[in-house]
Structure 1
Amino acid sequence: MTPFFVLIKCQLGQAYQVATALADAEIASEIYSTAGDYDLLAKFYLNPDDDIGRFVQEKVHVIEGIQDTKTIPTFKAF
């Protein structure tokens, strides 16, 4: 499994609703509240042959209350 992270900027006042929707969808392995430019940080795992961009578009972007995302792929664990 390949891990990757998605930083999520929520519409004002929607961070808890977005985090709950992510948790209810059972697609993220971990979800954190953050400070700064983004409101949430979510960690996901996909099979190496799966398309991360398609996953984010079809599973994450459809959650109501998300304003913007930034996807961070990973390559090697140390």
Structure 2
Amino acid sequence: MITAFVLIRAQGNRIAALGEAIAELPRVAEVYSVTGPYDLVAVLRLKELDELDDVVTQGILAMVGVERTETLLAFRAYPKRLLDAGFALGIENSRDS
């Protein structure tokens, strides 16, 4: 299984609609609205690398309101328990504020 992260810059008035539309594409596992230079991040789960073209070029980039994408391929996933612990720290800290 190949995991890819697609960083998406979108027109401001289209972010919510694009997030929902992208989430419905085949091979898209999750879509997040984020801060920073990009507006959305899509997490893709692919069986073969060729599917990346189908999802990104023919799918996401073809949508009205998408200005730019940048795709990152994951090399390695670290144990889920470590990821969960890292995210839990952020949640606990925000509760203390």
Which structure has the highest strand share of the two?
Answer: 1
Whole-Å separation in 1 of the counterparts to 2:9 and 2:25: 18
Whole-Å separation in 2 of the counterparts to 1:9 and 1:66: 6
Would the aligned equivalents of 2:9 and 2:66 in 1 still touch at CA under 8 Å?
yes
Which structure has the highest helix share of the two?
Answer: 2
Larger radius of gyration: 2
> What is the Cα deviation at residue 31 of structure 1?
0.6
Q: CA RMSD in A?
A: 1.6
> What is the Cα deviation at residue 64 of structure 1?
1.4
Stretches of structure 2 that go unaligned for 5 or more consecutive residues are 79-97
Look up the match of 1:29: 29
Total equivalences in the alignment: 77
TM (normalized to structure 1)?
0.85
Give percent identity, aligned residues only.
31
Matches within 5 A, 1:50-65: 50-52=50-52, 54-55=53-54, 56-65=56-65
Look up the match of 2:69: 69
CA deviation string 1:12-71 (max 9, x = no partner): 21100111111233441011010110000110011135252x231112111111011110
Stretches of structure 1 that go unaligned for 5 or more consecutive residues are none
